[in-house]
């Protein structure tokens, strides 16, 4: 019996709610909460613009005058992780790293070092997880708060966790999570083709 596929309902706003047990509708659900990651406002920064090479960068507003940033502004909402250009990334870590929360640091590093292209925020039972999709790789990054944010990497082609390191869940929940990750990856790859 495949619990994840027992009762799948596609919502108009592209959220997917998956009932874990048809007989007990009151049980917790798996749900895609959002399809992006917004970097929180950074406390203690001035609204001052600084120079980064030929570009002007503002760490408070997360703005840059470069062409890549200006193109991303047209595609993504304010403070969206995908708006961040190399200039902002470099200045954030050289001048404001202490102002960044742990999850934002992990997300930014994952985007710039491992070509993460999209993020989904997922409610999995009582936990909030983030998945990072990689266009050119057969991996998905999973971020979970286990007494501090941690990153785990699921290899789609091998159907296992890199280096045997998986989130701390009981085996049945971990199996459900792996099936969900595979489904999300398929949906992500399909969205790239359309």
Alpha-carbon span 44 to 99, nearest angstrom: 7
Which tens digit of pLDDT belongs to each residue from 106-130?
A: 999 999 898 888 899 999 988 999 9
E strand or H helix at 108: helix 102-114
Helix (H, G, I), strand (E, B) or coil at 144: strand
List, for residues 161-186, the tens digit of each pLDDT value. 988 898 988 888 888 898 888 888 88
pLDDT band of 28, cuts 50, 70, 90: low
Place of tokens 């491992």: 114
Cα-Cα-Cα-Cα dihedral sign, residues 31, 180, 38, 125? positive
Question: Would the pLDDT of 8 be above 50?
Answer: no
Question: Which of 180, 72, 177, 185 lies closest to 133 in space, CA to CA?
Answer: 185
HSE toward the beta carbon, residue 179, CA cutoff 13 A = 14
pLDDT reading at 4 higher than 80 = no
Q: Are 83 and 104 in contact (CB under 8 A)?
A: no
Entry pTM: 0.77
For residue 151, what are the β-bridge partners? 143
Tell me the two tokens of residue 36.
């992006």
């Amino acid at each position: 019996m495949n619990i994840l596929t027992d009762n799948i309902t596609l919502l108009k706003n592209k959220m997917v709610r998956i009932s874990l047990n048809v007989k007990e509708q009151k049980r917790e659900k798996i749900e895609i909460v959002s399809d992006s990651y917004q970097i929180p406002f950074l406390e203690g920064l001035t609204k001052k613009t600084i120079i980064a090479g030929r570009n002007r960068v503002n760490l408070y507003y997360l703005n840059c005058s470069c062409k890549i940033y200006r193109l991303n502004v047209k595609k993504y909402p304010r403070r969206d992780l995908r708006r961040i250009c190399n200039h902002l990334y470099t200045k954030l870590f050289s001048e404001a790293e202490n102002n960044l929360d742990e999850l934002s640091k992990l997300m930014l590093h994952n985007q710039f070092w491992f070509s993460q292209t999209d993020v989904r925020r997922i409610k999995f039972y009582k936990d909030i997880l983030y998945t990072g999709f990689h266009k050119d790789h057969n991996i998905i990054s999973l971020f979970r708060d286990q007494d501090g944010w941690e990153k785990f990497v699921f290899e789609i082609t091998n159907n296992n966790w890199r280096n045997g390191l998986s989130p701390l869940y009981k085996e049945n929940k971990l199996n459900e999570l792996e099936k969900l990750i595979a489904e999300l990856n398929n949906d992500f790859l399909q969205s790239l083709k359309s």
